Chain A
Amino acid sequence: EVQLMESGGDLVQPGGSLRLSCAASGFNFSNYAMTWVRQAPGEGLEWVAGIAGGADATYYAHSVKGRFIISRDNSKNTLYLEMSSLRAEDTALYYCAKDGLLAVAGRFDYWGQGTLVTVSS
């Protein structure tokens, strides 16, 4: 059974930093691209970043480019999102999701339960 478990969400001040993790199990992690999608309170879904299975390609939304870094450790079956220069508008529930292919393809077939990031002073 595919399982994705996010962690690391917290209350952080504007300008601060945070690292999210997503522990994966139930599938061959290195064979699939992974992605982060966020959802602000009461709002819709926003794709944030994606990384290929071999970590040889990464992609970012315009809103986070230069501030967030997506990475993965295939030996630990774990996906990361390093967030810096956080803003109030980054407040959201952050989901990790499994892509359907090795390359970043954009079709997300499994999702975690999410971890909440709140940016506020």
Chain B
Amino acid sequence: DFVMTQSPDSLAVSLGERATINCKSSQSVLYSSNNKNYLAWYQQKPGQPPKLLIYWASTRESGVPDRFTGSGSGTDFTLTISSLQAEDVAVYYCQQYYTAPPYTFGQGTRLEIK
């Protein structure tokens, strides 16, 4: 099975500054026939269910602010929040959906305000 490893485990960033979260897959999630990376990012705020932010590694879900950007290909991916807002405090998860199930999530990265 795929193993998804995020770094760092936690991160404190000042308001208005950039936050960067990394995700590494144990195997490539790039499907060569359509050149798509089967990688999603979710945001989970305290006491709430997860929310889909980004899929295909870089496509924002409808309604997600453009300060959230996903990048990367193959095995290495990044979620960047360009200018941190107070409402962005959350745990962020990457998830691969390359293979038939089981699907796997990263362990999560906790983002806080410095």
Contact = CB atoms under 8 A, between A and B. Distances in A.
Which of A37, A44, A45, A62 is packed against the most chain B CB atoms within 10 Å?
A: A45
B55 A47 contact: no
A106 interface: yes
Interface residues of A, number: 22
A50 interface: yes
Interface in B25-56: 38, 40, 42, 44, 48-52, 55
A47 B108 contact: no
Contact of A108 (B38, B52, B96, B101): B52
Interface string A38-62: 0000001111001000000001111
Contact of B105 (A44, A50, A59): A44
Interface of B: 1, 38, 40, 42, 44, 48-52, 55, 61, 91, 93, 95-97, 100-108
